[in-house]
Structure 1
Amino acid sequence: KDIQYVLSYYYNKLEYARFDSNLGKYVGYTAYGVKNAERWNNDPSIIGGRKAQKETYCLHNIGNWYPNM
């Protein structure tokens, strides 16, 4: 089962940064987003926390989603 955890950040309906569990890092889409993505990617506690979110949220709830698809 392939599971992807994506956390997107928006301001004024514009996505400026995103964490993608398949990449294992943040990606910035605006100048502000790139600046923050670099800062977040260089902090092991932030990256570790996001990777843990995939397991605590996605994998924990997979039994609720797949039977309904």
Structure 2
Amino acid sequence: SQRVRYLRRNSYNRQQFLHFDSDLGYYVADTEFGEPEAKKWNSDGTADRMKVEVEGFCRYNYEIFEG
């Protein structure tokens, strides 16, 4: 199976302030505004749910389209 990378970017007023990178497995703050959310989402299980989405949704659909 091929490697799948999932990026989810969160923006406000056209500026990216936070992103999730499945290669890292956690949220990263891109600005000071995103620091509290990154800390919260990395500790409350949100990052864990994103990792599950990569395996259950992204990889599954990749295999369908490539199969």
Shift of 1:24: 0.4
Alignment of 1:1-69 (within 5 A): 1-43=2-44, 45-66=45-66
State, as a whole percentage, how many aligned pairs show the same letter.
Answer: 30
Q: Residue 51 of structure 1 aligns to a residue in which SS?
A: helix
Shift of 1:64: 4.2
Normalising by structure 1, what TM-score? 0.83
Determine the C-alpha separation between the residues in 2 that align with 1:64 and 1:10: 30
Q: Residue 9 of structure 1 aligns to a residue in which SS?
A: strand
Where structure 1 has 5 or more consecutive residues not aligned to the other structure, the ranges are none
The 4+ residue runs of structure 1 with deviation greater than 6 A are none
